[in-house]
C-alpha cells in the first residue's frame, strides 16, 4: 500500500484549496479563512484520505488565523 505523507497532503491543500481562500477579519481580533465552496470535490481529487485531509487543513487554517492575529498585533 502506498503511504501518502502529510507533507504531500499539505502541498496539495496549499495549491488546490488555500490558493482560492480568503482571510476575513471578524472583529475583536478574530480572523477566519473562508474556503472555496467546492471543498469536498477538491478533497476527492487530492492525495490522502479524508481524515488526513481534514486534519491537515484544520491545522493549516488554524496557523494562518494565528499568524494573522500576530501580524496585526492581536497576539504576541
Average pLDDT over residues 6-24: 93
* pLDDT given for residue 68 in this prediction: 96
Global pTM reads 0.86
- Per residue in 34-68, pLDDT (tens digit) is 999 999 999 999 988 999 999 999 999 999 999 99
| All structural domains of the chain with their residue ranges | 6-71
In which residue are the cell numbers 474556503 written?
35
Euclidean distance between CA atoms 66 and 46, whole angstroms: 25
Q: What is the mean pLDDT of the chain?
A: 91
Euclidean distance between CA atoms 35 and 39, whole angstroms: 7
Cross-strand partners of 27: 30
Which H or E element spans position 26?
strand 22-27
* pLDDT given for residue 1 in this prediction: 39
pLDDT of 25 strictly over 80: yes
Amino acid at each position: 500500500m502506498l503511504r501518502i505523507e502529510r507533507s504531500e497532503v499539505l502541498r496539495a491543500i496549499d495549491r488546490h484549496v488555500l490558493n482560492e481562500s480568503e482571510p476575513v477579519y471578524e472583529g475583536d481580533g478574530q480572523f477566519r479563512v473562508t474556503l472555496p465552496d467546492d471543498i469536498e470535490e477538491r478533497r476527492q481529487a487530492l492525495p490522502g484520505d479524508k481524515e488526513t485531509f481534514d486534519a491537515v487543513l484544520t491545522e493549516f487554517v488554524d496557523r494562518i488565523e494565528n499568524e494573522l492575529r500576530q501580524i496585526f498585533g492581536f497576539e504576541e
